Structure formats: C-alpha cells, structure tokens
A and B are shown apart, each in its own frame.
Chain A
Amino acid sequence: MDILTFLAQGFAVALEPQHLFLALIGCALGTLIGALPGLGPVNGVALMIPLTFNFGLTPTAALILLVSIYYGCMYGGRISSILLNIPGDEPAMMTTLDGYPMALKGRGGEALGLSGVASFIGATVATIGLTLFAPLLVGFAIRFGPAEYFALFVLAFATIGGVTSGSLTKSFIAACLGLLLGTVGIDAVSSVPRYTFGWFELYDGIDFIVALVGLFAISECLVFLENTQHGSKPTMKLGSAIPGMRSAWQCSPTIARSSLIGFISGVLPGAGAALGSFLSYTLEKRWLGKRGDFGRGDPRGVAAPEAGNNAAAGGALIPMLSLGIPGSGTTAILLALLLSMNITPGPLLFAQQPEMVWGLVAALFIGNVMLLVLNIPLVGFFAKVLQAPGWFLMPMVVMVAFVGVYSLSNSAFDLYLMLAFGVLGYVLRKLEIPTVPVVLGLLLGGQMEYNMRRAMSISGGDWSILWNSGISIGIYAFAITLIVAGLVFSWMVKQRA
C-alpha cells in the first residue's frame, strides 16, 4: 500500500503548524479576493501567483499557500454568485439558480453555509476516488513515448474547446494563438531566436505569469471602466450560516448522489467542473420531480451543484495530474500554478514524484477543512467585501498586479507586456474568444513542441510516427469523440434554453 503511505506522509507535511497557518491565511485571503465583485476566482488566483513567489517559502509551503488561495477564491466566488447573482466562473452558474432566490428570502447565510458543507463532502469523495484510481494510471504511463505525449497535448487542446462554452472555432483559435505566442523567444534546441524582432527582452520567451495577470486582471479592469457607477450597492439581509449545517443534513442524499455524478464527470478529460455542476443539478431536479422546488430557492438546488462542482474539480485532478489535461478554467489555473512551481503534470509525475502528488492532495484536503472552519462563522464578514465600491477595488487590483509582475524580474518591459496582454484579453473577451486556451497554449506549447521534435528525431523526419502507435490513435479517436460529445452537449443546452 504505497499510496496510503505517501498520502499519510503528505498529510503529515501539510499538518505541520507553519503549513496549517499558511493554509488558514491562504483561505482567508483567497475568500476575500474571490469575493471581490467582478474579480472572480480565476482572476484572483492569477493575481496572487506572482506575489507568492516573493515570500521565500519552501516549494511545499508555497504549494499549500497557493492551493489554499485557490480554494478560498473558489469559495469567495460562491459568495458573489449567491448574494449578487453574479457567478464568478462557469461552474458557479448553476449555484445561482437556487442560491440567489434563497438570498432574496433572507436565507443567504444558510445557502453559503450549506454550500460550504456540500463542497467539503464533494471534495472528500473526490479525494477518496483519486486515491483509488491513481494507481491504475501509473502502470499506464510507462508506455508513453514522445509521439504519444504529442497526441496527449492535441487531446488537451481539443477538449478545452468542449468546456469553455461558446464557439468551438473561437476556442481553437485561442489555443493556436497561445501556442504561437509560446514559440516566442530563443528555441531551446537550436538557440535560434524566434519572433523576437530584435527585442532582447523577449529572448527568454513570454513569461506566462505576466500573460496570465494581463489577460485576466488587467482586462477585467478595462471591462470595469466601461460602466462606472458611483453609488452604494443595496444591502441584503444575510441571516446566519448555522442553519446551513442542519439543511446540509437534510440534503445529505442529494449531496451523496451529486458528489458521485460530479466525480465521474470530472474524471472525463475536458468535461470538468462545469459539466459536474450542470449534470448534478439537472439530474437531481429530475430525480426529485414534484418533491423539489428548484429554481425558487430550494436548498437542494444549492447543495447539488456545489457538491457536484467540487467532486468534479477533485475528479478533474486525475486527468490533470496524470495526463496534464486541465478540464476547466479553474483547473487550468491550478495547472499554471503547478507549472510555476516547476511541477510538470503528466504520466511520469505519479511515478517520479509521488510525494508531490500526495502532498498536493493533502493540501487540497486541508484547504477544504480550513474553509469549512473559517467560513461558517465568518461568512457575514466576507459578504461585507461585496459592498466595497469598484472605484476603490479596481485600482487596488491594478496595483497588486503591477507590484506582483514587477517583482518577478524588476523590469519595466514586463509591465508593458502585461498591459499589452490586458488589451489583448479585453479584445478577445469582446470577440467572445475565450482567454483560458491562450494561457494553456503558452503553458503547454513548449512541452508539445519538444515532444514533437523528439519524436521526429527518433523517426528521422518521418511524420507518420505521430500517428503510428495504438495509444496515439486511441488518444486522437478519444479527442474526436469528446469534440463531438461537446457539440452535442452544447446543442442540447441550446435546445433547453
């Protein structure tokens, strides 16, 4: 039972007092950032990644801090989806359906408490599932050569289109754009500068953290500048979070069913958390039929998508850690976070750095416990953040972005680059071209190219090596299946709307 030993070790590390403290700080900070109106979880994590590099932490400690911020941001995003009806990310959309009506009835606190408990249970189910399924992948990993890795990256980009709702064409365009931007800089194999146009600042390539902060945080500010309103926001009666515990008990069958559904949809690469919360909400609605009051503030309508969402996010760790394929925008951010710490997810990670994998799993779990402990009593305080005016928050976000990016390399060039990415992100958003695939292209492009060129040098320049093995054919077939499934799924959603 190697895995249990590693998991126990991971927990032992995560439970050290310093790490627990960091987890607490991370969760509190993350919740605050995630709850900032208009900022949302993905932007929040993107903003925090460069800052955490400056704390001089050990890799494990930094990982725990970032993961806690990630979890905190996700939870903070839920506060704005439930209380303001503004979902911070895609999976949170289903939560607004019953969460906001609950808040209107003065049961916002209860909804938030319930969401905390439901997410906790969903994440726990996913952690157990991860422990059970991961060993299967370790044996599988040994058969991967460079050509198979290349196929895997194609799969990653094929499936990200199925997730980010909207036009498939546009998400593929975004991915290609990201891959092309990823080739900027000196080529590692031949030392030839590519697309640098004589700018020596670009020789190291585009730092994806600079791109990330620009594409998300800066472009968010530009969106915010469109409609500035000066005035106070309506306050809402929150109510206590304590009844959330009781309604969680009443919803326990719902939570159990939704966790299972969420986990299964999370494991499918490319499906991810959005599908998890969508499926668990609609299936639960159908299961309960007339016994439910969905859409008008039924607590089960909050419990189902929250449990499903978090179980899916945990389940999505399986394709993310083992194949390097992130399932959703937020998992993509988690991938960026890991890559920024020099942890490269992929088939070899489980075999070569098991302590890292299980340390991460333990950190995620601890983060979840922390959130539960932190948020049930403090939900009222966090909800206050929503009342902070945009004219104060957004300049703060800009300052944090500037200081974070500046501290990476102490160069003004990176700041200009960040602004340029901010404009790019803004224009892409207006065009409804998703920005997450751009970041993914930047993140994964180097590895993808490296594997392609290694495969080519093995075959002596014969391109057919890329589709000559059973595994790569299987992966391509799977990618095509998922694209078709994604098209059918989005067609079904359109029919329903």
Chain B
Amino acid sequence: MNESGMESLRTSGVVGDRIAGTVLAVLAAGAWWHSHSFATGFMQPVGPGAFPRLVSVPLGLLALYLILRPGFNQRWPHRAALLRQVGALMLLGGYSAFLEPWGFLPASLVTVIVLIRLFGAPWKQSLVSGAILTVGLYALFEFALGMPLPNMPGLSW
C-alpha cells in the first residue's frame, strides 16, 4: 500500500483548488438563483428558498476565498490509475443497470471477476477468486442473512 507515507503524496493545490473553488462558486450562485423559483406558501414568513440561500452565501464566499488562497492537494492519479478508476466506475455503473434484469449471480460474477482483474490480480486468479467470492457472498446474503437479492430470470427459490 502507501509505503512511501502520506506526507510525500501532498502537492500544491493551486490548480486543483482553483478549479474546485470555481465549480463551487458556480454551484453556490446556481443554488441561489434556482432557490427563487421555490414558491413561498401562504402565511409563511420565510419560504422554502430561504435556507438554501442562507447556505449558498457562505459557500460562495468560501469558494472565492479558496480561489484566492489555494491550499494543498493529495497527489492526483496518473494516467494508468485514472484509466483503471474510470474502468471500474463504468463497470459498476453497468452492474447497477444489469443487477435487476440479469439477477444477482450472473451480474455479480462478471463484475467481480473484472473488478479483481482491475485491482491487479492475473486472469486465472481473478476467475477463481471471483467465482468463490460471488458464490460465497450469495450464500451469505441469500441464505444466512435472508436478504432479498434479485434472482436470475426464470429461476427462483
């Protein structure tokens, strides 16, 4: 894992913090602007927009301060790591979509095997460990804990 220690992984946050500050400032301004569309009900001294406005003011000011005085960031991922992360997110997004139509077992089997591969294990190990992990978790959730999992189509017990 992180043998090199956390401290050496810090970098200057000039770029990152300024981008974040800009995004947050825009978010705060958008939230402020959008809150005016919330209709205030009858006999209410303050409507549903008051609290979001109350929060977006400090958020906006702090975001501007962050742009002016950026701090530190953790080191951002390299290209290879970023590719793995994007791959994992797409895989998990697909898993979310296919979990119900495919059922827990097939969807999880595919996901877990690819995921283990993404975490750095070779293919053979991924296949074996993935199968063991999926079946083990299925047994644990379905039978030991009695949690309702989506079943494979045409198969139910």
- Residues of A near any B CB (own CB < 8 A): 37-38, 51, 54-56, 86, 167, 169-170, 172-173, 176-177, 179-180, 183, 187, 189-190, 192, 194-195, 221-222, 224-230, 389-392, 394-396, 398-400, 402-403, 406-407, 410, 412, 415-416, 419, 422-423, 426-427, 429-433, 448-449, 452-453, 456-457, 459-461
A428 to B, closest residue via Cβ: B20
Q: Does B106 interact with chain A (Cβ within 8 Å)?
A: no
Report the separation of the CA atoms of residues A13 and B62 in the bound assembly, to the nearest whole angstrom: 48
Residues of B with C-beta under 8 A to A415: 92, 95-96, 99
- Chain B contact residues, majority secondary structure: helix
Interchain Cβ contacts under 8 Å between A and B, 12 examples: A56-B146, A169-B65, A176-B58, A189-B48, A194-B35, A226-B78, A228-B119, A391-B119, A391-B129, A429-B74, A430-B76, A432-B13
A453/B96 contact (C-beta < 8 A), A54-B146, A172-B62, A430-B74 known: no
Contact between A192 and B48 (Cβ–Cβ < 8 Å)? yes
Contact between A177 and B59 (Cβ–Cβ < 8 Å)? yes
A225/B46 contact (C-beta < 8 A), A54-B145, A396-B133, A406-B99 known: no
Contact between B77 and A449 (Cβ–Cβ < 8 Å)? no
Report the separation of the CA atoms of residues A169 and B68 in the bound assembly, to the nearest whole angstrom: 12
Q: Does B8 interact with chain A (Cβ within 8 Å)?
A: no
Report the separation of the CA atoms of residues A221 and B88 in the bound assembly, to the nearest whole angstrom: 9
Residues of A with C-beta under 8 A to B121: 230, 389, 391-392
Contact between B149 and A403 (Cβ–Cβ < 8 Å)? yes
Contact between B133 and A180 (Cβ–Cβ < 8 Å)? no
Residues of A with C-beta under 8 A to B120: 228-230, 390-391
A446 to B, closest residue via Cβ: B51
Residues of A with C-beta under 8 A to B92: 398, 402, 415, 419
**In chain B, residues 16-55, which have Cβ atoms closer than 8 Å to a Cβ of chain A?**
16-17, 20, 24, 27-28, 31, 34-35, 38-41, 44-48, 50-52, 54-55
**In chain B, residues 89-114, which have Cβ atoms closer than 8 Å to a Cβ of chain A?**
89, 92-93, 95-97, 99-100, 104, 108, 112
Contact between B31 and A173 (Cβ–Cβ < 8 Å)? no
Residues of B with C-beta under 8 A to A56: 146
- Chain A contact residues, majority secondary structure: helix
A224 to B, closest residue via Cβ: B119
Contact between A432 and B66 (Cβ–Cβ < 8 Å)? no
Q: Report the minimum CB–CB distance from A395 to chain B (whole Å).
A: 4
Q: Does B147 interact with chain A (Cβ within 8 Å)?
A: yes
Report the separation of the CA atoms of residues A167 and B40 in the bound assembly, to the nearest whole angstrom: 37
Residues of A with C-beta under 8 A to B145: 51, 54-55
The 9 closest A-B pairs by CB, nearest first: A228-B120, A461-B45, A415-B96, A391-B119, A176-B59, A187-B48, A190-B41, A449-B51, A391-B121
Report the separation of the CA atoms of residues A419 and B81 in the bound assembly, to the nearest whole angstrom: 18
In the complex, which of the residues A169, A190, A457 contacts B71, with contact meaning CB atoms closer than 8 Å? A169
Contact between A460 and B39 (Cβ–Cβ < 8 Å)? no
Residues of B with C-beta under 8 A to A459: 45
Report the separation of the CA atoms of residues A456 and B43 in the bound assembly, to the nearest whole angstrom: 12
Report the separation of the CA atoms of residues A230 and B120 in the bound assembly, to the nearest whole angstrom: 6
A422 to B, closest residue via Cβ: B89
Residues of B with C-beta under 8 A to A431: 13, 16-17, 20, 73-74
Q: Does B2 interact with chain A (Cβ within 8 Å)?
A: yes
Residues of A with C-beta under 8 A to B63: 173
The listed residue with most B CB atoms (<10 A of its CB), out of A429, A432, A452, A461, is A432
Q: Does B153 interact with chain A (Cβ within 8 Å)?
A: no
Q: Does B118 interact with chain A (Cβ within 8 Å)?
A: yes
In the complex, which of the residues B59, B72, B85 contacts A180, with contact meaning CB atoms closer than 8 Å? B59
A226/B77 contact (C-beta < 8 A), A391-B120, A453-B50 known: yes
Q: Report the minimum CB–CB distance from B95 to chain A (whole Å).
A: 7
B93 to A, closest residue via Cβ: A419
New A-B pairs, 10, CB < 8 Å, besides A170-B71, A190-B47: A167-B71, A176-B62, A192-B47, A225-B81, A228-B118, A390-B119, A391-B125, A402-B95, A410-B148, A456-B45
Report the separation of the CA atoms of residues A37 and B84 in the bound assembly, to the nearest whole angstrom: 20
Contact between A38 and B58 (Cβ–Cβ < 8 Å)? no
A222/B93 contact (C-beta < 8 A), A395-B119, A395-B133 known: no
Report the separation of the CA atoms of residues A392 and B132 in the bound assembly, to the nearest whole angstrom: 11
Residues of A with C-beta under 8 A to B96: 402, 412, 415-416, 419
Report the separation of the CA atoms of residues A86 and B10 in the bound assembly, to the nearest whole angstrom: 17
Q: Does B141 interact with chain A (Cβ within 8 Å)?
A: yes
B43 to A, closest residue via Cβ: A457
Contact between A432 and B39 (Cβ–Cβ < 8 Å)? no
Residues of B with C-beta under 8 A to A395: 112, 115-116, 119, 130, 133
Residues of B with C-beta under 8 A to A448: 51
Residues of B with C-beta under 8 A to A170: 66, 71
In the complex, which of the residues A169, A227, A461 contacts B81, with contact meaning CB atoms closer than 8 Å? A227
